[in-house]
Amino acid sequence: MLPDLTRPCTAFSDTKKIAAGDILEVALKVQRYLKEHKKSQVHVFDDSTSAPIELDLRGTPDDLRERLRKIEESTEKKSGPGRPKLGVVSKEVTLLPQHWEWLSIQPGGASVTLRKLIEEAKKKNVTQDQIRLSQEATYKFMNVMAGNLENFEEALRTLYAKDAKGFELLIAGWPKDIREHARGLSRRAFQKSSK
C-alpha cells in the first residue's frame, strides 16, 4: 500500500525506530539505513492506520524521489465519475427497493439524503469510531512488531477492554521504541465512550 505521500509514517528495523515523517522523507532515510545495514529487515507503517507501506528503494535517492513523484502525479490525475473538483466521488451503493423508494421522495434526492445521514452518524459516533480505529491501528502495529514479545496477548486483551493501566503495565518491559509507538497509537482507545 502506498497512501497519500504527505501522510506521516514511521519505519522500524528490528525493535528500533529508524525514521519518521512523510513518505519521501522516511523512504530516503530507510534507503540510507539499508545501505549501512544490508541484512536488516525494515517495516514502514502508516501512522494513523498502521497499514504497512511498501517502498521500492532501488536506485539512487534521485531515482527514489522521481518514482514517488510519478506515483503522486498518477494519483492526482486519476479522477473517475462524480464531481472531482468539488471532492465528490461516485461509487456504487446497494440498497433494497424500499430504501431507494424512500430516498427518492426525500428533498434533494438520494445523494443529498445519504450525505446528511452519514454526517449525522459521523457526529453521533465520533468517539466510538476514534476508539475502534485506535484499537485497530494499535493491534496491526503490535501484531507485526510485538507478536513475539512477553505479554503480547495480555496487552491486546487490555487494549480491547479499555484498561489503560493494565496495558501500560504489560508493555512496560518492551523495547522503548515499540512501547512508545504502541502507547501513542493506543491513546484514543482508552478514552471514555459516549454510549
Domain ranges (residues) in the chain = 8-77, 126-190
pLDDT digits (tens, 9 = 90+) for 161-175: 999 999 999 999 999
**Residue with grid cell 434533494, as numbered in its chain:** 108
Mean pLDDT of all residues in the chain? 88
More reliable by pLDDT, 5 or 191: 191
Residues 6+ apart with CB under 8 A from 106: 112, 113
Residues 6+ apart with CB under 8 A from 19: 10, 11, 25, 26, 29, 30, 33
pLDDT digits (tens, 9 = 90+) for 47-69: 999 999 999 899 899 988 888 88
